[in-house]
Chains A and B, each alone.
Chain A
Amino acid sequence: MENLISKKDLLEAANISYGQLYRWKRKNLIPENWFIRKSTFTGQETFFPKDDMLLRIEKIKSLKDDLSLDELADMFSPSPTLTSLSVEELTKRNIVSNTSLDMYINHHGTTTSYTFNQLLTLYVLDTLLQTGEVNRSEGMDLLKVLDENSKNLKSNESELIFIRKMGVSFFILTPEPAKLFVESQAKIIAHYKLNQFTEELKLKLS
């Protein structure tokens, strides 16, 4: 069972009021499926996935002075915002490193502009390379798996997992939050939620 927090404890922990929580719910800053109804001794109560919710509230609080609530809602929504970005723009704004761009071009050939989904793939690759979690050849594998399965993914809930065992590595892409049990020599190197990438990328692009 995921770690849940009650509404009352959440307001306390995040230091927000009922009014704020309800306003953010109205503005779709918090996904509907994060509101989990459970029965308790005082009747029905609302619970939230603790880590996701606290992270989201932290983000809203830190960004709400710069962005309007509607802009924030756009950022958190899984749907892509902009339609395409030119290559010049991409390098000029320093969104991804040249290394990952080269790898992407190697894999796909050159194009003059990138769609949001292509940018997302690039951004995922870049992040994993930058953190040192994958090497170049594993990066190529990542490009392949993202490419082949991009249509099967519901971007909001999808997760990316990277596992290595005795030097052999592979990726897992799952459209649902997954619980994995791996053998002892295998190591989960990276475990990401794809919507996290989407949010970060949107923030960089805006």
Chain B
Amino acid sequence: MEKTAAKNISISGSGTSSGGEYNQVKVNGSAHINGDLKCEEFKCNGSAHIEGNITTGTAKINGSTHIEGDVEAKEMTINGSTDIDGNLSCQELKVQGSSSVKGDLKGKEIIVRGSASVQGNLSGDEVDVKGQVKIKGDCEAESFDARGNFKIDGLLNAGTIDVELLRHCEAKEIGGENITVKKTRDSSGFKKLIKFFMNNHNDQLTAEVIEGDQLYLEYTHAEIVRGNTIEIGPGCVIKRIEYKTSLEVDESAKVDAQEKI
């Protein structure tokens, strides 16, 4: 195929393209692309349906986009909604709208301000969630920061895990070096209003097993908690704790069994 790297396509209104190699691809109306797309810049302000893979430098999706293949991008911003049937790999991903990935999601920096769902595994250096995340597989990161609501069906594995509870958070297993789970304290008026309508007692983390070097937990329900230094704050319900160096338990926490190893 002849290289058309210097060319741009811009679809305003409704149009189809067979894909190919471009510099800039811009969709302002509705577009249907019947093949793989390679470009420096992809921008969709309307709706786009791509029957193939995309490799791009930057992708900015303000409208809605459905990609049947894999996506590879350096930088990707999703302000609208995006469905990806394959895998998404991306240096920097920012989801401000909603996105769903059927495969795996890989990235260096993953920021979620809206909602994201991943059917496979998620792995990244930094994962920052202030919204909602659902992961069917495992979640691996150097740092995992959450202030919102997450549900991980597999293992949450990160160096630093920092969770500020807002509504219900859930993971099957949690493991890492430093794990902190706290309930949000600085409730602004707006949050109080939201909480008034939603059940306040729902701020809670549920996991079967939590293992780490240093743990501080509040409002956490777990079967087993294991670690070196463990501090159990208020609102915890834990069946069994195994610790190595030290253990502190808040009066209001309920711990069935504890053992120094």
Chain B interface residue count, Cβ-Cβ cutoff 8 angstroms: 24
- Shortest A126–chain B CB gap in Å is 38
Tell me if B159 and A19 are in contact (CB < 8 A): yes
- Shortest A23–chain B CB gap in Å is 6
- Shortest B239–chain A CB gap in Å is 9
* Interface flags, B173-215, vs A, CB<8A=1, else 0: 0011110000000000000000000000000000011011100
Tell me if B228 and A17 are in contact (CB < 8 A): yes
Specify the main secondary structure of chain B where it touches its partner: strand
Does A18 lie at the interface of the complex (its beta carbon under 8 Å from any beta carbon of B)? yes
Tell me if B226 and A18 are in contact (CB < 8 A): yes
Residues of A within 8 A of B175 (CB): 18, 21-22, 25
Residues of B within 8 A of A43 (CB): 208-209, 223-224
Number of A-B contacts (CB under 8 A): 51
Residues of B within 8 A of A8 (CB): 226, 242, 261
CA distance A22 to B226 in the complex (A): 13
* Interface flags, A43-84, vs B, CB<8A=1, else 0: 110000000000000000000000000000000000000000
Does A92 lie at the interface of the complex (its beta carbon under 8 Å from any beta carbon of B)? no
Tell me if B228 and A22 are in contact (CB < 8 A): no
Does B157 lie at the interface of the complex (its beta carbon under 8 Å from any beta carbon of A)? yes
* Interface flags, B233-247, vs A, CB<8A=1, else 0: 000000010100000
A contacts, CB < 8 Å to B: 8, 12, 17-19, 21-23, 25-26, 42-44
List 12 other contacts, CB 8 Å, given A21-B175, A42-B223: A8-B226, A17-B177, A17-B213, A18-B175, A19-B177, A19-B213, A22-B211, A22-B212, A23-B159, A23-B177, A26-B157, A42-B224
B contacts, CB < 8 Å to A: 123, 140-142, 157-159, 175-178, 208-209, 211-213, 223-224, 226-228, 240, 242, 261
